[in-house]
Amino acid sequence: MKLYSIKCPNCGATVHVESVGTKIYCTYCGSEIYVDDEAQTININKNININKHIKIDKTNREIDEARIEEIQSEERKNRDNNVFFLRFFAIWGIIALGVILAQNFSLDLFKGLFSNAEKVSMPASSAIYAKYSDYHTVVEELELAGFTNVTVAKDEYEGTLGNLFAKNGEVVSVKIGKTDVEAGKEYPADIPIIVYYYYKE
């Protein structure tokens, strides 16, 4: 019996045929090949191996689904990391803001803002009061405006050129806690106000 070697028209693999008029299946791609004469006319039926294509499609789909799941898992992990860092920086940002506010915003001012006492308008700002040469004048002005809790404190500040010419009793600043007073702003009448004045022995 004569053995013919032909190439599969579908995948190009070498296939052996024993005789003409025979149907064979390509062992590589599963296509049905029919050799009908000595000239080796070949008819191919690509649809014959439906099950193989279904298996290939199913395998490809499983691989694709596994890859999609892997990508989604990576995205979830990245998203979780981003959320963690956002929360981390937000918490530290709030803490830092709290520290800054605590340094510039005293408890006395906080209590005073929510006091039920009558509101009084501040006659001048701390910067204006710092130009006064006698702290007694500032205390009188604040009391005349209606503030009932005005105290004084010595401020032995040094280090600037202007301080060389400062005289005892000159106003340094007027504060509520650690915050300078603002002209025209309304404060409760009983809020603790401190008039700092220059003093050096």
> What is the fold of 4-51?
Rubrerythrin, domain 2 (2.20.28)
What are the φ and ψ backbone dihedral angles of 82, each rounded to 5 degrees? -60, -45
Residues 6+ apart with CB under 8 A from 200: 156, 158, 168
Segments of the chain assigned E as strands: 4-7, 14-17, 22-25, 32-35, 42-45, 119-121, 150-155, 171-176, 179-180, 186-188, 193-198
Residue 159 pLDDT greater than 50, yes or no: no
Report d(CA 201, CA 196) in Å as an integer.
16
* pTM more than 0.75: no
Task: Kindly indicate the confidence band of residue 50, based on its pLDDT and cuts at 50, 70 and 90.
Answer: very low
Segments of 89-140 assigned E as strands: 119-121
Q: Write the burial class of residue 43 (CB in 10 Å: 0-12 exposed, 13-18 middle, 19+ buried).
A: exposed
110-198 placed in CATH 3.30.10.20: yes
Given a contact cutoff of 8 angstroms between Cβ atoms, the answer to whether 138 and 164 are in contact is: no
DSSP letter string over 19-56?
STTEEEE-TTT--EEEE-STT--EEEEGGGGHHHHHHH
Report d(CA 182, CA 127) in Å as an integer.
9
Per-residue model confidence as pLDDT tens digits over 170-195: 888 899 888 899 999 999 989 999 99
Q: Which of 36-50, 61-75, 87-101, 128-142 has the lowest mean pLDDT?
A: 36-50
Look-up of token digits 């025209």: 184
Position 149, amino acid: N
Is residue 101 classed as helix, strand or coil in its secondary structure?
helix
For the chain, what are the domain ranges? 4-51, 110-198
Report d(CA 106, CA 79) in Å as an integer.
40
Percent of the chain past pLDDT 90, that is, above it, reads 18
Look-up of token digits 């308008």: 121
